[in-house]
């Protein structure tokens, strides 16, 4: 097996050998490796196939910007993870990884055929091609695309890992632990700022930590040695917290940031168990210092995507940090000085290399150093083509013309097994722009830079466009002193020597004799978009960068275009003939690197997913086989399945019992608002449509509440407990919103009213007993209470004691039966319920759930706000004109009731529907039409409630129908998938129109 | 995520608040006297300014009090906070 690990480094522990599997084959690496460095040490460059053309692709980078080395980790159904960057994944014993986006395997790939038909796959291909015929999409295109271009597989079972959230507050947050971040953190912490330093890597130090060039020195030490000392020093600072393996995912307003800390991803399987995998940090910092560094740019030339072609600085890191060389015969292709550092490092380790430089000449210390070492440099040359299918084996270079627009002279063919490219550096301005910061453009080296405009956020180091070490350190120190308003002298005498880059030449799309249409100059490696695609998009009329991006899919893959955005912009600017800075950039959206759903959700999974509210009677319901329904956060009994009944049977039994003898409902979840104050009556007058001033003490009244737009908002019964004291009930789901709305009016529109609102929903439990025998049950429970119709009529209220505990009893009905609601302090709710059940035994008192409640009220034609209404129904639409006071001068929504739209006669209105076949039950939500033959069919409305009534022995439904009020007796049709159901419009009240049962 | 300085409780996270839209839209005292257009003006029309906007917020998961906020919607900076009934600060017009 080849071994490309050619020397020892302090970051690789060669005493700890680690075995791992890649595409099913076992390899070895060492502790300290990433999956990428271990693969390269084994001579493996080819790691996947490209998305569209299925071209072989290799490792390109050593960090978060990696577009190609994207892996699927593990194979377990619950733990497998797609889209993991091999360049960031730390190697551990037993790691199983496989390449993504290739089928059947990386070396033989059926999709590779796309490469040969690529002239047929231009920009916008998917939009243009997979359009017709429609049936082809489902049957042919989609399965093919899914099979051959899968972007990894999602786990199919719940994630067993534990995730955590943590809130923290700091004076100063420093993002990035490179040289500038370390200096900034030290200055802040030493000047009494409580400071947090985060870095996404395992160790601090950024790219300076492996920088060992003789022409770059700080205080007479190599820059990496100097930085190691600094790191030792900051580790001793007491008010500095350092978090490594922690990356900022999002930078929101007001310095609120989200960071993901990786806790176990680098550990072997058995050590991961029962530990928190990732923690989401929610950080509030008074000040934020961004030191996120920069990313090296690729160069755009023909066939720039072959395995073995990497970023130049990544070759340097693999060599000096991991001890791995990416080849034995390397060519570096550059337009700037940084590739020379790589070249010199390679040379020192005995790796043969030559340099191809776009620039006509260059004269810095680094270049002199390379020249003195005898490294061959081709100035003013450009790579025009590369060769080698699974890995690069040679390339062609040509001389550049004076203006750089074309090539001149003869091709020179050079053999190689690796190509390093460096197109300059792109400052990582993501954090700055996410926080709302704007950008400036610097023409000299074509970079976007943070525009400083904030007192609480600053960028330092190379993310601020300062690239050489002297510049970085001097500027960082000055800026931090100013930013934090301190006078730190730690670096006053620091002596920095470094090579200064004097010469620049940037060409976004490198010239070639071959017509662009026949080249493959890749810009976005992950989404396979080329320079040709960008030009085509411009030709087809796209101008905005945001549009070109979407049309060509440049920058839209999981790497979010970290390597490609600048080139796309540059080529657009060149083609359109405008200055680059004027185009703006695409939006840098969070997260910076992908986040797992687990991290976002944290502990809020399973039973902690949402708050659950249970009534005091909940245990009894559970013991008595209740099936529960979620109503808001409440768990409400839906129905009680007796002796293995199904839902239909249970509901039929419960409904019948409630009308024949007695039923009991847990009504504790209804919203309850306690209203007190000398203006309470006036307040109710203003919020309900009907009149309240004359409601006698001890009486109850049903009220309908509108929005200011006249639409029904909520309903419920309110009881006058004393002169200035009311108890309002609301729908279960609307309770919180109603309270908010009432508070709004009270505080902002009518502050002169003396009214106080208190939510008492949780304070009282409510048992609602209905049916012809309910009075007899009440008599047993409250023997001293006069239950006669004279003393305690319908819609009135009494107080009494149940074994010395106060109860509020309302005689109100939502079923149309004689009915009592007993309210008691919540802690006695369960006892109350059990006493009711006990007292009701001889009368077959039957507990019923929400489904039966809905059925019983539908028989009586009572609406449910939110089921029969949807925010577009006025009282009149509901045929409830009787509840709208004509006398009251004003109430919420009154004026809207006679707007031109609300008085239209052809609004959708609530009606009853009876099926011609009484056994046929309609489907809620089904459409209603009158003429099945017209096309398009005219939709008249839809069904809002539908049940089979055991008491009427027929199917009943409520519906909203256009002009429904005038349609009584008319035939309508409900078209279903395989039949049409004939119905007749009826009254909304199906049972006991005369209200005889209320006083039975 | 904003930090909002509730005039009753102090600085709290945005998640404790709910927004109530544009401030200083007074409910007409005599709605029945208004034409459809005048009523629609009150009911539906909002300025939705890019720049300095006066808006209502409710400390819904806190003291439940409504109050007014001056916010620059172009950068989300909250410039001033004042109680209901108080006059809006004049230096932001
Ligand atoms: Zn408050």
A11-43 residue pLDDT tens: 999 999 999 999 999 999 999 999 999 999 999
Q: What is the mean pLDDT of residues B34-53?
A: 95
Q: What is the mean pLDDT of residues A183-208?
A: 97
Window 9-28 of B, Cβ < 8 Å to A: 18, 20, 26-27
Ligand 1 mean position to B20 CA, how many Å?
15
Do A696 and A825 fall within a single domain?
A: yes
Q: What is the mean pLDDT of residues A553-558?
A: 82
pLDDT above 70 (res A139)? no
B4 to chain A: closest CA residue? A254
Q: Which of A253, A749, A900 sits opposite B27 (nearest CB)?
A: A749
Q: Which domain holds residue A759?
A: 616-864+875-896
Do A796 and A735 fall within a single domain?
A: yes
Percent of chain A beyond pLDDT 90? 84
Q: Which residues of chain A neighbour B66 with C-beta distances below 8 Å?
A: 743-744, 747-748
Name the H helices within A55-119.
113-116
The answer, for A740 touching chain B at a CB cutoff of 8 Å, is yes
Ligand 1 mean position to B69 CA, how many Å?
13
- Whether residue A894 and residue B31 make contact (CB cut-off 8 A), yes or no, is yes
Q: Which of A252, A436, A900 sits opposite B36 (nearest CB)?
A: A900
Please tell me the total count of domains within chain A: 2
Name residues whose C-beta falls within 8 Å of residue A156's C-beta, 6 or more positions apart in sequence.
A77, A78
- Whether residue A743 and residue B58 make contact (CB cut-off 8 A), yes or no, is yes
Q: B3-92: what fold? A: Folate-binding fold (3.30.2270)
For A949-989, the DSSP string reads: ETTTTEEEEEEEEETGGG-TT-EEEEE-SS-EEEEEEE-S-
Using pLDDT thresholds of 50, 70 and 90, give the confidence band for residue A561.
Answer: confident
- Whether residue A740 and residue B18 make contact (CB cut-off 8 A), yes or no, is yes
Inter-chain contacts counted by CB atoms under 8 A, chains A and B: 50
pLDDT above 60 (res A304)? yes
Within a domain: A585 = no
Ligand 1 mean position to A821 CA, how many Å?
36
pLDDT of amino acid A233: 97
- Whether residue B65 and residue A747 make contact (CB cut-off 8 A), yes or no, is yes
Do A947 and A980 fall within a single domain?
A: yes
Q: What is the mean pLDDT of residues A354-382?
A: 96
The answer, for A747 touching chain B at a CB cutoff of 8 Å, is yes
Using pLDDT thresholds of 50, 70 and 90, give the confidence band for residue A593.
Answer: confident
Do A882 and A962 fall within a single domain?
A: no
- Whether residue A889 and residue B20 make contact (CB cut-off 8 A), yes or no, is no
Do A696 and A722 fall within a single domain?
A: yes
- Whether residue B32 and residue A740 make contact (CB cut-off 8 A), yes or no, is no
pLDDT of amino acid A913: 98
- Whether residue A896 and residue B30 make contact (CB cut-off 8 A), yes or no, is no
What's the pTM value of the predicted model, to 2 decimals? 0.89
- Whether residue B31 and residue A895 make contact (CB cut-off 8 A), yes or no, is yes
Within a domain: A201 = no
Do A731 and A858 fall within a single domain?
A: yes
Within a domain: A493 = no
pLDDT of amino acid A211: 95
pLDDT digits (tens, 9 = 90+) for A196-211: 999 999 999 999 999 9
Q: Which of B3, B18, B32 sits opposite A890 (nearest CB)?
A: B32
Strands A195-198 and A240-243: parallel
Q: Which of B34, B43, B60 sits opposite A709 (nearest CB)?
A: B43
B30 to chain A: closest CA residue? A890
Within a domain: A859 = yes
Pick the residue of B43, B84, B88 with the most A CBs within 10 A to test the interface with A by mutation. Answer: B43
The full set of domain ranges for chain B reads 3-92
Q: Which residues of chain A neighbour B58 with C-beta distances below 8 Å?
A: 740, 743-744
pLDDT above 70 (res A656)? yes
pLDDT digits (tens, 9 = 90+) for A36-74: 999 999 999 999 888 778 889 999 999 999 999 999 999
pLDDT above 90 (res A225)? yes
Share the mean pLDDT of chain B. Answer: 94
Q: What is the mean pLDDT of residues A244-260?
A: 96
Ligand 1 mean position to A743 CA, how many Å?
14
pLDDT digits (tens, 9 = 90+) for A849-891: 999 999 999 999 999 999 999 999 999 999 999 999 999 999 9
The CATH number of the domain holding residue A955 is 2.40.30.110
- Whether residue B58 and residue A740 make contact (CB cut-off 8 A), yes or no, is yes
pLDDT of amino acid A132: 53
Do A801 and A918 fall within a single domain?
A: no
Give the separation between CA A501 and CA A219, rounded to whole angstroms. Answer: 21
Q: Which residues of chain B neighbour A288 with C-beta distances below 8 Å?
A: none
Using pLDDT thresholds of 50, 70 and 90, give the confidence band for residue A107.
Answer: low
Do A828 and A960 fall within a single domain?
A: no
Within a domain: A729 = yes
Structure-token match 């030792």, residue found? A232
Using pLDDT thresholds of 50, 70 and 90, give the confidence band for residue A154.
Answer: confident
Structure-token match 């409305």, residue found? A941
The answer, for A256 touching chain B at a CB cutoff of 8 Å, is yes
Give the separation between CA A46 and CA A877, rounded to whole angstroms. Answer: 68
- On the 0-12 / 13-18 / 19+ scale of CB atoms within 10 A, B36 is middle
- Whether residue A890 and residue B85 make contact (CB cut-off 8 A), yes or no, is no
Do A780 and A798 fall within a single domain?
A: yes
Bond before B16 cis per omega within 30 degrees: no
The CATH number of the domain holding residue A749 is 3.30.1360.120
Do A832 and A797 fall within a single domain?
A: yes
- Whether residue B31 and residue A890 make contact (CB cut-off 8 A), yes or no, is yes
- Whether residue B84 and residue A748 make contact (CB cut-off 8 A), yes or no, is yes
Percent of chain A beyond pLDDT 70? 95
pLDDT of amino acid A836: 98
Using pLDDT thresholds of 50, 70 and 90, give the confidence band for residue A787.
Answer: very high
pLDDT above 90 (res B59)? yes
Do A620 and A691 fall within a single domain?
A: yes
Q: Which residues of chain B neighbour A432 with C-beta distances below 8 Å?
A: none
Within a domain: A622 = yes
Within a domain: A703 = yes
Ligand 1 mean position to A761 CA, how many Å?
22
Nearest to A547 by CA among A534, A560, A557: A534
pLDDT above 60 (res A772)? yes
CA dist A730 → A105, A670, A735, A854, A973 (Å) = 62, 6, 6, 16, 35
pLDDT of amino acid A592: 85
pLDDT above 70 (res A150)? no
Using pLDDT thresholds of 50, 70 and 90, give the confidence band for residue A489.
Answer: very high
pLDDT above 90 (res A786)? yes
Nearest to A427 by CA among A565, A584, A277, A273: A565
Within a domain: A105 = no
- Whether residue B66 and residue A747 make contact (CB cut-off 8 A), yes or no, is yes
Q: What is the mean pLDDT of residues B31-55?
A: 95
Do A891 and A944 fall within a single domain?
A: no
CA dist A517 → A404, A521, A541 (Å) = 20, 10, 18
pLDDT digits (tens, 9 = 90+) for A717-766: 999 999 999 999 999 999 999 999 999 999 999 999 999 999 999 999 99
- Write the DSSP symbol of residue A133: S
Q: How far is CA A239 from the centre of its chain?
A: 34
The answer, for A402 touching chain B at a CB cutoff of 8 Å, is no
Share the mean pLDDT of chain A. Answer: 93
């Amino acid at each position: 097996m080849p071994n490309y690990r050619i020397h020892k480094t302090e970051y690789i522990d060669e005493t700890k050998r680690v075995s791992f599997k890649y595409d099913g084959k076992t390899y070895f690496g060492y502790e300290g490796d990433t999956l990428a460095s271990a693969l390269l040490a084994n001579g493996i460059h080819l790691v996947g196939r490209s998305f569209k053309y299925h071209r072989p692709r290799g490792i390109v980078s050593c960090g978060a910007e990696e577009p190609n080395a994207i892996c699927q980790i593990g194979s377990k159904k619950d733990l497998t993870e797609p889209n993991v960057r091999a360049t960031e994944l730390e190697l551990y014993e037993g790691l199983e990884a496989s390449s993504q986006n290739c089928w059947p395997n990386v070396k033989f790939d059926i999709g590779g055929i796309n490469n040969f038909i690529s002239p047929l796959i231009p920009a916008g291909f998917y939009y243009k091609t997979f359009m017709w015929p429609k049936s082809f999409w489902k049957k042919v295109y989609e399965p093919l695309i899914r099979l051959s271009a899968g972007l990894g597989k999602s786990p199919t079972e719940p994630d067993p890992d534990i995730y955590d959230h943590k809130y923290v507050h700091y004076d100063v947050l420093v993002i990035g632990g490179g040289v500038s971040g370390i200096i900034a953190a030290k200055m802040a912490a030493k000047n009494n700022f409580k400071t947090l330093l985060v870095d996404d890597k395992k160790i601090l130090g950024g790219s300076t930590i492996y920088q060992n060039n003789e022409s770059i020195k700080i205080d007479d030490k190599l820059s990496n040695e100097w930085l190691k000392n600094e790191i030792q020093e900051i580790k001793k600072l007491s008010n500095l917290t350092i978090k490594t393996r922690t990356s900022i995912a999002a930078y929101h307003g007001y310095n609120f940031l989200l960071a993901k800390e990786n806790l176990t991803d680098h550990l072997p399987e058995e050590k991961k168990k029962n530990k928190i995998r990732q923690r989401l940090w929610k950080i509030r910092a008074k000040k934020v210092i961004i030191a996120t560094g920069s990313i090296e740019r690729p160069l755009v030339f023909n066939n720039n995507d072959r395995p073995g072609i990497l970023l130049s600085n990544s070759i340097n890191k693999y060599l000096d940090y991991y001890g791995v060389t990416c080849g034995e015969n390397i060519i570096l292709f550059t337009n700037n000085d940084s590739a020379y550092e790589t070249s010199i490092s390679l040379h020192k380790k005995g790796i043969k290399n030559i340099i191809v430089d776009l620039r006509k000449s260059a004269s810095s210390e680094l270049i002199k150093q390379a020249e003195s070492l005898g490294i061959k440099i081709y100035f003013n040359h450009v790579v025009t083509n590369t060769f080698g299918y699974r890995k690069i084996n040679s390339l062609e270079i040509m001389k550049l013309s004076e203006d750089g627009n074309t090539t001149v002279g003869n091709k020179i063919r050079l053999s190689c097994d690796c190509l390093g490219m460096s197109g300059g550096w792109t400052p990582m301005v993501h954090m700055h722009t996410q926080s709302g910061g704007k950008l400036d453009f610097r023409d000299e080296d074509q970079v976007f830079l943070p525009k400083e405009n904030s007192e609480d956020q600053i960028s330092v180091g190379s993310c601020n466009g300062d690239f050489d070490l002297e510049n970085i350190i001097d500027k960082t120190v000055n800026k931090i002193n100013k930013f934090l308003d301190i006078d730190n002298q730690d670096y006053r005498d620091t002596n920095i020597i470094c090579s200064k880059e004097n010469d620049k030449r940037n060409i976004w799309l490198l010239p070639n004799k071959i017509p662009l249409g026949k080249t493959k100059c890749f810009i976005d490696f992950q989404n396979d978009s080329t320079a040709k695609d960008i030009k085509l998009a411009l030709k087809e009329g796209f101008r905005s960068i945001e549009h070109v991006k979407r049309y060509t899919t440049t920058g839209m893959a999981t790497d979010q275009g970290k390597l490609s955005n600048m080139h796309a912009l540059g080529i657009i600017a060149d083609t359109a003939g405008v200055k680059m800075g004027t185009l703006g950039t695409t939006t840098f959206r969070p997260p910076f690197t992908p986040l797992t759903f687990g991290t976002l959700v944290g502990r809020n999974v399973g039973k902690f997913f949402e708050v659950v509210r249970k009534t005091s009677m909940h245990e009894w319901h559970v013991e008595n086989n209740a099936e529960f329904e979620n109503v808001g956060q409440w768990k409400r009994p839906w129905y009680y399945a007796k002796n293995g009944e199904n839902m239909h049977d249970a509901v039929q039994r419960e409904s019948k019992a409630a009308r024949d003898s007695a039923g009991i409902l847990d009504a504790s979840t209804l919203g309850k608002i306690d209203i007190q104050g000398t203006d309470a009556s006036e307040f109710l007058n203003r919020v309900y449509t009907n009149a309240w001033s004359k409601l006698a003490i001890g009486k109850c009244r049903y009220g309908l509440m509108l929005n200011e737009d006249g639409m029904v908002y909520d309903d419920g019964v309110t009881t006058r407990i004393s002169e200035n004291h009311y108890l309002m009930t609301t729908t279960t789901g609307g309770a919180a919103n109603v309270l908010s709305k009432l508070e709004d009016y009270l505080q902002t529109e009518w502050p002169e009213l003396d009214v106080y609102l208190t939510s008492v929903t949780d304070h009282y439990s409510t048992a609602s007993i209905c049916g012809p025998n309910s009075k007899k049950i009440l008599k047993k429970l409250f023997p001293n209470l006069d239950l006669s119709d004279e003393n305690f009529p319908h819609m009135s209220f009494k107080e009494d004691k149940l074994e010395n505990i106060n109860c509020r009893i309302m005689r109100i009905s939502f079923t149309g039966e004689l009915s009592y609601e007993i309210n008691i302090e919540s802690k006695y709710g369960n006892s109350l319920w059990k006493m009711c059940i006990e007292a009701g035994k001889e009368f077959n008192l039957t507990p019923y759930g929400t489904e039966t409640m809905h059925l019983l009220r539908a028989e009586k034609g009572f609406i449910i706000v939110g089921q029969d209404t949807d925010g577009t129904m006025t009282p009149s639409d509901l045929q409830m004109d009787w509840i709208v006071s004509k006398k009251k001068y004003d109430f919420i929504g009154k004026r809207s009731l006679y707007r031109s739209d609300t008085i239209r006669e052809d609004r959708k209105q609530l009606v009853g529907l009876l099926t011609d076949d009484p056994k046929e039950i309609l489907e809620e939500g089904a459409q209603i039409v009158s003429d099945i033959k017209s096309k398009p069919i005219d939709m008249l409305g839809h069904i809002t409630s539908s049940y089979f009534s055991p008491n009427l022995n027929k199917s009943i439904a409520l519906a909203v129908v256009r002009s429904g009020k005038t349609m009584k007796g008319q035939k309508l049709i409900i078209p279903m998938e395989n039949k049409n159901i004939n119905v007749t419009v009826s009254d909304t009240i199906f049972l006991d129109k005369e209200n005889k049962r209320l006083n039975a | 995520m904003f930090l909002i300085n509730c005039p009753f409780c102090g600085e709290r996270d945005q998640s404790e608040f709910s927004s109530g839209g544009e401030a200083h839209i007074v409910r007409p005292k005599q709605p029945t006297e208004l034409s459809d257009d005048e009523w629609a003006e009150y009911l539906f029309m909002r300025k939705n300014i890019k720049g300095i906007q006066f808006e209502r917020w409710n400390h819904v998961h806190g003291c439940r009090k409504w109050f007014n906020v001056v916010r620059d919607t172009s950068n989300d900076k909250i410039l001033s906070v004042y109680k209901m009934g108080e006059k809006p600060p004049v230096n932001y017009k």
